[in-house]
Structure 1
Amino acid sequence: MKVHARAQASLRELELIEMREILKNSWYESKKLWHIALPAVITLVLQFSISFVTVAFSGHIGDVELDAVAVVENVIEGFVYGVLLGMGSALETLCGQAVGAGQFEMLGIYMQRSWIICLTTALFLTPVYIFTSPILKILHQSRQISETAGQYTLWAMPQLFAYAFNFPLQKFFQSQSKVWVMTAISGVVLGVHVLLNWVFVIKLGKGLIGAAMVGNISWWLINLGQFLYLISGAFPEAWKGFSRAAFKNLAGFVRLSLASAVMLCLELWYFSAVIILVGLLKHPELEVGAISISMNYELWTFMIALGFNVAISVRVSNELGANHPKAAKFSVIIAVITSTFIGLIFTIIVLVERKQLPKFFTDSPDLIKETSKLGFLLAATIFLNSIQPVLSGVAIGAGWQTLVAFINTGCYYIVGLPLGAILGFKLKMDALGIWSGMLVGTALQTILLLTITFKTKWQKEATLAEERIKVWGGHVELPSSQVAAIKEYT
């Protein structure tokens, strides 16, 4: 009996030691995640708030102006933003894994290649801004909203090229966990943005043209501040000036960029497609306004989840690049738990304050009432979107863009949108039904990504990361069998 009691005591002691070790490692990993995630969250929220402020000021010009700017930001800018962010996300995979492998000298070259690709892409996307009005009419949006939106995008076109320049810079900074300067720049520019909107939109009555021009100024101020930080000497190993090497070996970089773009576009366009479907309802002005206000709150909280998307992408890519597969897996677990907990807090806030939140955007009693009806769906979406972006960040960090693109296609466009159309139009549930279908697609995608992530063989991913750097870094030509293995996962 005494031997048995001693054995039980020893077992309990071992369990306590193991528990302390887990808690210690969890605290250590949490600090690493928050070191990246906190400034990334603040930066993303501040930069998203530029659009948030623009929509808010436009709503006080009139309901049509609110709907026009909301449609532009959710459909037109959602389209181009998705393409450019996706093209720039190849940099996130390669820079993060290069940092883990200690190859800092490649970061500046990678970023310049990404600038070439993103700015060229932006040039090809300019017709979308020029022909916004006819595009929206083809999509059966309200004539008045379409024409107002077309006037706005003609003046807002410089923002397209600002995005193309901004995303590679951000990925360059984030891969090295240097983001606090970005946060400070974004905070200062947001304050300037609010002031300029108040002066030009409210006091001087310049309307949507004034709002568009203020947006242009704000985004290029962010780029100016970040570029000055780049050339300040803070990155002696990673930035050695402009180089002709950026024009070499572009083919493989373009391929990974396209895979990243497809993956992210399928996610971001999903929200745009919902706005388009709502625009086909019997009373589009009221319905579009209601769902646009809800989407703005959803996107605001989504920015916080995207902060963890950035953090886990950096952590996974760094650890895989350094050949630390167990650390990468542990980081994923901590990131999912942390982001889900924060998402739960916002879910509760939305449920409690769902009748008050619309008042920030509109004074219309009908629009406030219609938006309040969507509060429960908004809360559910916010909860799911506290998990899904983290898993997408894991995919970017590990280089699974092509695989996730297939999953997004099935969940969003084969399940979510058709189901939303059936509920919204056939069953007469209107915006409530369309959003419900979207929510089902998001839930299915989240379940699949969770399953794939936690069944991953991380040692194999670390090996692929090492080979990927060689392939897309252009340093070494690998045997065709190894190249094929990499391409299978990217």
Structure 2
Amino acid sequence: MASTDPEDGAAPLEEPLLAPEPTEEKVQVTTELADLLGLTAAFFVSSVSWVAMKSTDTAILGHVGTRYLDATALSDLYTMSTGVFVQGRVLGVFVSQAIGADNKKLAGAWLQTSYAVLSLVLIPVAVAWLFTGPALRLFVRNDTLVKDAAYYATVLALCLPARVGFSQLTQFFSAQKIMRPSYATAPIAMVLNLVLGLILVLGIGIPDWRGFGFKACPVVTTCVEYVQLAIVIVVFCVIKKLHASCEPDNGWFSMKEITSERFVAYVKMYAPAALAIASDFWRMTAVGAVAASLSEDDLGVFNASYRIMWMALTLTGSLGGAIATKLGLRLGAGDSKGARQGVRIGLVVSVVLLSIIVLVVITIPRQLAMIFTNDSKLLDLFERCRYEFAAALFMMNFAVVCERVPFGMGRAKAVLYAGAVGSWVGQVPAVILCVEFWRKDLRSVYTGVAAGYALLVVVLLGIIFTTDWRQQAADARARSEVDAPAAEEEEAAQ
């Protein structure tokens, strides 16, 4: 029976995590769909917080003035290119496989190791954010725009410790299918950021006051990020103790479990994973630079449309996270056949979901753009390029879902290489060629983006459908410090 205890924090999505036993049973499609969609919903609610806060900031600033919308776009293009290094996406791989192999204490040790690694990475990232102004002045001549962008990035640098603390702790729980810590804080963060933004930035709700304007926006976001971290720690760790079953032998505050072997193993997966996602943002920075070279209006539309892409990515990324979590648990448990079938079902679901999203974008493009701006000139521009944008959105999101599969196996290097080909062989050259030799507008930009992501999808699908699933199960068991190789057990069972 699935767990239904409202106090255990886990969504009742599938069988409790037991000792790994290889299985030859086929995945039942209806059961898999129910489990996958249930876990996707939980991931969606938990992951929507960050995207919603960024979207809220953009929407509010769009009503303060186009100048501030452009400044935040410029700031984000710079800070995201370095901020990706503190995301540490690999913790979920280690934890899910350790839990699947029934080695809960090792899962706790991986959380400690993750914090140790990311604490070191955080320092240069924070320094880079604090020097946003000098960095942008090398490329941008508009001193007012650079000054606003630098202020925005400098204030947000203060929230980096909270961002690392929250992301790793919730990732630790989510990899075990314990979703309450993250999805319970998401609505609080969204509402708090919106309410404080409307009051402090725009002055809504207070007679004869227009608010603090742009300067209050990053301050509100920073405070909200610390609030959501505090909620997870106090409610779900101190009070509910949802982390207790994974406590390492030497306790949570001991460094003894952070062995050199684990540190090196984590870094070996973290480094290519971080470089892969950094490459993604560097690529989009290059594409954004092309958009900015067209006009300030093109940059504003590009920024708003990129937010729409991320809103869609919140949903498809949640689906990808659900696929990767179930994949890690199955590989850790030695179920290579179930892992393969589950992945194929997940990819089909992602295509159906993205088709629906694209239809919405094509049907009501102007209404979507009005979330971020009321400038009729920008709305007209977005409406004219809706078909090319829809194609880019589909390919971007499907590529992200496909990427989560080899990543969930622990094949971070394969993801890095595939991303490099899609970005620097496909997308960036395609954007430049379309703009230079077809038409100098956003339609060319989105056409090039779609072409680059299409190349990436082809490479990733090649990796997925040529995978040796038994070997991946054996690797997952070895990574989880389990003696018996799963592939050998399954082969003997057959």
Which TM-score bucket, shorter chain as reference?
A: 0.7 to 0.9
Give 2:213's aligned residue: 207
1:93 matched to 2:93: yes
Instruction: Quote the Cα distance in structure 2 between the aligned partners of 1:313 and 1:460.
Output: 17
Q: Name which of 215, 237, 246 aligns with 1:230.
A: 237
1:267 matched to 2:269: no
Contact kept in structure 2, 1:174 and 1:310, CA below 8 Å: no
Give 2:310's aligned residue: 299
Instruction: Quote the Cα distance in structure 1 between the aligned partners of 2:450 and 2:159.
Output: 30
C-alpha deviations, 1:73-129, integer Å up to 9, x for none? 3x13322332222xx222121111101100011122211211121122111112221
Q: Give, as a single letter, the amino acid of the residue that structure 2 aligns with 1:205.
A: G
- Structure 1 unaligned runs (5+)? 1-20, 479-490
Large movers: runs of 4+ above 3 Å: 139-144, 425-428
CA shift at 1:434, angstroms? Answer: 2.3
CA shift at 1:252, angstroms? Answer: 2.4
The DSSP-based 3-state class of the residue aligned with 1:419 is: helix
Give 1:279's aligned residue: 292
Q: Give, as a single letter, the amino acid of the residue that structure 1 aligns with 2:53.
A: I
Give 2:18's aligned residue: none
Instruction: Quote the Cα distance in structure 1 between the aligned partners of 2:455 and 2:318.
Output: 23
Contact kept in structure 2, 1:152 and 1:212, CA below 8 Å: yes
Aligned length: 447
Give 2:20's aligned residue: none
Give 2:72's aligned residue: 69
- The alpha-carbon distance between structure 1 residues 348 and 363, as it changes in their structure 2 partners (threshold 3 A), is same
- The alpha-carbon distance between structure 1 residues 265 and 246, as it changes in their structure 2 partners (threshold 3 A), is farther
Instruction: Quote the Cα distance in structure 1 between the aligned partners of 2:290 and 2:480.
Output: 42
Instruction: Quote the Cα distance in structure 2 between the aligned partners of 1:222 and 1:273.
Output: 33
1:193 matched to 2:193: yes
Contact kept in structure 2, 1:412 and 1:441, CA below 8 Å: yes
Contact kept in structure 1, 2:79 and 2:153, CA below 8 Å: no
Q: 1:45-444 alignment to 2 at 5 Å?
A: 45-73=48-76, 75-85=77-87, 88-140=88-140, 142-203=142-203, 204-228=210-234, 229-231=236-238, 232-239=240-247, 240-249=251-260, 250-281=263-294, 283=295, 285-444=296-455
Instruction: Quote the Cα distance in structure 2 between the aligned partners of 1:453 and 1:334.
Output: 13
Contact kept in structure 2, 1:274 and 1:435, CA below 8 Å: no
C-alpha deviations, 1:44-71, integer Å up to 9, x for none? 1233101100111111111010111122
Contact kept in structure 2, 1:321 and 1:466, CA below 8 Å: yes
Q: Give, as a single letter, the amino acid of the residue that structure 2 aligns with 1:236.
A: A
Contact kept in structure 2, 1:141 and 1:280, CA below 8 Å: no
C-alpha deviations, 1:401-434, integer Å up to 9, x for none? 1012111111111221012112223544233222
Q: Please, which moves more after superposition, 167-176 or 203-212?
A: 203-212
CA shift at 1:162, angstroms? Answer: 2.2
Q: Name which of 31, 41, 47 aligns with 2:34.
A: 31
Instruction: Quote the Cα distance in structure 2 between the aligned partners of 1:160 and 1:80.
Output: 12
- The alpha-carbon distance between structure 1 residues 94 and 84, as it changes in their structure 2 partners (threshold 3 A), is same
- The alpha-carbon distance between structure 1 residues 134 and 277, as it changes in their structure 2 partners (threshold 3 A), is farther
The DSSP-based 3-state class of the residue aligned with 1:244 is: coil
Instruction: Quote the Cα distance in structure 2 between the aligned partners of 1:220 and 1:272.
Output: 28
Instruction: Quote the Cα distance in structure 1 between the aligned partners of 2:430 and 2:399.
Output: 20
Instruction: Give the alignment's Cα RMSD to 1 decimal.
Output: 2.0
Q: Give, as a single letter, the amino acid of the residue that structure 1 aligns with 2:318.
A: G
The DSSP-based 3-state class of the residue aligned with 2:476 is: helix
- The alpha-carbon distance between structure 1 residues 380 and 142, as it changes in their structure 2 partners (threshold 3 A), is farther
Q: Give, as a single letter, the amino acid of the residue that structure 1 aligns with 2:232.
A: Q
Contact kept in structure 2, 1:329 and 1:458, CA below 8 Å: yes
Instruction: Quote the Cα distance in structure 1 between the aligned partners of 2:78 and 2:35.
Output: 36
1:451 matched to 2:462: yes
Q: Give, as a single letter, the amino acid of the residue that structure 2 aligns with 1:127.
A: V
The DSSP-based 3-state class of the residue aligned with 1:387 is: helix
C-alpha deviations, 1:339-398, integer Å up to 9, x for none? 211111110000000122222222211111112222112211222234222221111210
CA shift at 1:142, angstroms? Answer: 4.4
Q: Please, which moves more after superposition, 43-52 or 235-244?
A: 235-244
Q: Please, which moves more after superposition, 49-58 or 33-42?
A: 33-42
Q: Give, as a single letter, the amino acid of the residue that structure 2 aligns with 1:173.
A: F
